[in-house]
Amino acid sequence: MNEERLRALLRETPAPGEEAAAQRGLRIAREAFTRREPPRRQARPRLGLAFAIGVLIAGLTLSPAGAEVRDWIGDVFTAGVPNAERALTDVPGGGRLLVQTRDGAWVVQPDGSRRLLGRFQSATWSPRGLFVAATDGHTLSALDPEGNLRWSISAGAATSDPRWSAGSGFRIAYRAGSALRVIGADGSKDGLLGGSKDGLLDPQAAAVPAVWSPQGLHLLAYVDAEERLRAVNADTGEVLGSAQTLPGIDLLGWSADGSMLLETSPRALRIRPVTTSKLVEELALEAPRNVRLPAGASLETAAFSPNGAAIAALLYSRGRAGKPAHSEVVLIDPDGSPPRRIFSVSGRLSDLAWSPDGRWLLLSWPDADQWLFIPLGGPGKIRAIGGISGEFSPGEGDSGFPRIDGWCCPAASAGSG
């Protein structure tokens, strides 16, 4: 078709009810404009407060002092951060988010625009954010962030917890039923993977997502059915190390340099030194160090910072003896300093994710329908975005509050993975 003809046709063809829609839209825009915060000059007190909180948090991050003020922060936010932004127009700190709703997996671009990848139940980034591995029913698929399917396999059992290997990104580990399997990142069932015909690493693994060593050595840590931590060479299936882990363990994580493993359960957090040779033929899982958590608090989730210098942990304490239920985020120094509280609210927070540059933490506050972006160690202010469930419910219907599955890489780069 001729381009000029198409251009002319599109310009001459109105949408149905265009004028009436314009009138309705203008009315709504004017109402929203009237309701919006007063212009900048009058808004100083709010900005000042937010800035002060940001500076305060930065200070707390650096200093163990300031307990009284930290309690004040907890008092400020009881039912959502006030004056939250009404729309997600950018991702503070940059990078892209991988998000899960009842409708499926979504990618959120740095400018806040969203793209529904498809009806998947869990998803994970490839190491450089060029692809996404996702599960749906018995299927494991690889897609680009635009949602274009690259390959798909049927695993014969319900798939979950896909994890893309670090470094070159040549492997994907996933659960199929209760089995832990590995597959080539191009979808090939390499006969050698896992040391078995179909990439089977363990027929009965615990329901804890496996984690790849960030050193890119195809070294995979997972938990078996007896709650033993195992480190295996995913290409050969050889077990390189094993150790008893926490009862009720629900999360594993590697530090950026592969020298530590994080193990958590709702009641405990451990840091375990790991010694590996460059060839991964020798590996030692050392004795773990237990980190003491506040009495009565349960651990919701935790994650190493991208540079491995800290662990952020999200804790929840039920209300008791006149004290309301509250959530708090603490930073834990892997070297052993006492945890430092950096943020606290009355209510229940859920997910926690580090920005790729380690300067922001993203927290979910489902009851307030907000995402909270918390700046760390800088002069930024807390960014609260409201109406999050609506952001992931285009058209009618409610897709529920989204779960954060990953925060990846500022920009896609060439090359595999």
- Name the site residues for another protein (rule: CB under 8 A): 1, 3, 6-7, 9-22, 24-26, 28-30, 32-34, 36-40, 43, 85-90, 103-104, 106, 109, 111-116, 118-119, 145-147, 394-395, 412
Nearer to another protein, 3 or 68 (CB): 3
Q: In terms of Cα–Cα distance, which of 369, 363, 358 is closest to 344?
A: 363
State the nearest-atom distance from the C-beta of 249 to another protein, in Å.
35
> 260-265 and 268-276: which strand pairing?
antiparallel
Q: Are 382 and 54 in contact (CB under 8 A)?
A: yes
Q: In terms of Cα–Cα distance, which of 214, 245, 246, 217 is closest to 232?
A: 217
- In 51-113, the DSSP E strands lie at 96-101, 104-108
Nearer to another protein, 209 or 402 (CB): 402
Q: How many whole angstroms separate alpha carbon 397 and alpha carbon 57?
A: 37
State the nearest-atom distance from the C-beta of 283 to another protein, in Å.
39
Q: Are 140 and 152 in contact (CB under 8 A)?
A: yes
Nearer to another protein, 114 or 228 (CB): 114
State the nearest-atom distance from the C-beta of 304 to another protein, in Å.
28
Nearer to another protein, 71 or 398 (CB): 398
State the nearest-atom distance from the C-beta of 84 to another protein, in Å.
10
State the nearest-atom distance from the C-beta of 388 to another protein, in Å.
13
State the nearest-atom distance from the C-beta of 394 to another protein, in Å.
4
Nearer to another protein, 285 or 368 (CB): 368
Query: Would you list the DSSP string of 342-391?
Result: EEEESS----EEE-TTSSEEEEEEGGGTEEEEEE-SSS---EEE--HHHH
Nearer to another protein, 139 or 178 (CB): 139
Q: How many whole angstroms separate alpha carbon 78 and alpha carbon 368?
A: 9
Angle formed by the axes of helices 44-62 and 67-76, to 10°?
140
Nearer to another protein, 27 or 318 (CB): 27
Q: Return the HEC string of 178-234.
A: CEEEEEECCCCCCCCHHHCCCCEEECCECCCCCEECCCCCCEEEEEECCCEEEEEEC
Q: How many whole angstroms separate alpha carbon 155 and alpha carbon 46?
A: 53
State the nearest-atom distance from the C-beta of 323 to another protein, in Å.
35
